[in-house]
C-alpha cells in the first residue's frame, strides 16, 4: 500500500468534493484526510486529499480531468522525503535550527547541501555530516556569482532552496529559474519594514510588536506570497539590538514552521497569496 497526496485547485463549481472523492472511491483509494477551501473573492477551489491504496497515477489523473472544470490544476505527490539546499551568509541561528530539527526528525527533509558566500558556517554544517560549499561573491558580478551558485545547487537537484539569512538580493533570472521554490525568512512582520535593517526601522518607529515572515521569493523584494508569520511583544525598554536578539527566536520558529508546511504539500500559491490546507 502506498500513500500519496492529491492536490487540486480549480474554478469553483457545484459538487466538486463529491466528484473528486467518488473518483478516489472508484480507484479503491482510502481517504486518510481531506481539507478544502473556496476563495469566494476569486472563485477558486482548493483541496488537499491524503490517499492510501494501490495507485495507477495515469488513469486516476485521466478520470479527474474528465470531471474537473476548465483551467484546473491537479497533481499527485508521493511520500518521499524532499531535498533542500540551504543558502546562508554569516548568521547561524536559522541554519542551526534547521540542522538540529532535521537531525532529530522534527523536520522530515534531507538537507542535500549548504551553500554560503562566506566560509563562516562550514564547521557548523559539517558537524551534521552535510556538505558545505563556499561560493564567494568577491570579484564576481552578481550574475556570475548567481550562476556559480546555480551550478552547485543544480548538482544536488533539490526540490526547494531555503534562504536562511542569505543576505543578498537575487536577480530576476535566478528567481525565475526556481519559481515558487525559493523560501526566504525576513526579519520583519511584512509588509512593514521591507528591506535592510528592519529592527532599526522598527525601533525608530517605536513599535510594540516585532515579528518575522517566511515567504516565497519573487522579483519584488520581500513581497512574495506569505507562508507563515509570527510576532512577539516589545516595549520602550528594547533597543534595536535587543529587538534583533529577541527576533532571532521568532525567525527560527517561523522558518521551520513554514518549511514544514511546504514539505507536507499544504501550501497552494495563487497570484501573490497562499492558501494553507
At 253 the three-state DSSP class reads: helix
- How far apart, in whole angstroms, are the C-alpha atoms of residue 250 and residue 252? 5
Per-state percent for the chain, helix, strand, coil, to nearest 5: 35, 30, 35
| C-alpha neighbours within 13 Å on the C-beta side of residue 240 | 9
CB 217 within 8 A of CB 183: yes
Known catalytic residue at 222 = yes
Helix 57-67 / helix 16-26 crossing angle, nearest 10 deg: 150
Burial 185-219 (b: 16+ CB within 10 A, else e): bbbbbbeebeeeebbebbbeeebeebbbbbbbbbe
Locate all alpha helices (DSSP H) within 104-237, ordered by sequence. Answer: 122-126, 142-156, 172-177, 198-205
Q: Which of 220, 222, 242, 265 is catalytic?
A: 222
Nearest Cα to 163, choosing from 184, 134, 148, 188? Answer: 184
CB 262 within 8 A of CB 235: no
For 110, the grid coordinates are 534531507
Question: Which residues participate in catalysis according to the annotation?
Answer: 222
Amino acid at each position: 500500500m502506498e500513500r500519496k497526496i492529491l492536490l487540486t485547485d480549480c474554478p469553483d463549481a457545484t459538487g466538486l468534493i463529491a466528484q473528486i472523492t467518488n473518483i478516489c472511491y472508484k480507484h479503491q483509494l482510502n481517504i486518510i484526510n481531506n481539507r478544502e477551501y473556496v476563495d469566494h473573492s476569486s472563485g477558486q477551489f482548493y483541496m488537499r486529499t491524503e490517499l492510501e491504496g494501490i495507485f495507477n497515477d495515469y488513469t486516476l489523473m485521466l478520470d479527474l480531468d474528465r470531471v474537473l472544470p476548465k483551467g484546473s490544476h491537479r497533481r499527485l505527490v508521493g511520500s518521499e522525503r524532499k531535498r533542500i539546499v540551504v543558502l546562508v551568509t554569516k548568521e547561524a541561528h536559522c541554519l542551526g535550527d534547521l540542522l538540529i530539527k532535521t537531525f532529530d526528525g522534527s523536520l522530515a527533509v534531507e538537507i542535500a547541501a549548504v551553500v554560503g558566500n562566506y566560509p563562516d558556517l562550514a564547521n557548523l554544517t559539517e558537524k551534521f555530516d552535510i556538505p558545505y560549499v563556499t561560493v564567494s561573491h568577491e570579484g564576481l558580478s552578481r550574475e556570475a556569482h548567481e550562476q556559480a551558485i546555480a551550478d552547485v545547487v543544480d548538482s544536488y537537484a533539490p526540490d526547494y532552496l531555503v534562504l536562511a539569512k542569505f543576505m543578498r538580493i537575487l536577480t530576476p533570472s535566478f528567481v525565475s529559474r526556481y519559481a515558487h521554490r525559493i523560501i526566504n525568512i525576513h526579519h520583519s512582520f511584512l509588509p512593514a519594514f521591507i528591506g535592510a535593517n528592519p529592527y532599526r526601522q522598527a525601533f525608530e518607529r517605536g513599535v510594540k510588536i516585532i515579528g518575522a515572515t517566511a515567504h516565497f521569493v519573487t522579483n519584488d523584494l520581500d513581497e512574495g506570497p506569505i507562508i507563515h508569520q509570527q510576532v512577539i511583544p516589545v516595549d520602550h525598554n528594547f533597543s534595536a539590538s535587543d529587538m534583533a536578539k529577541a527576533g532571532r527566536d521568532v525567525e527560527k520558529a517561523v522558518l521551520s514552521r513554514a518549511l514544514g508546511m511546504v514539505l507536507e504539500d499544504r501550501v497552494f500559491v495563487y497570484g501573490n497569496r497562499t492558501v494553507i490546507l
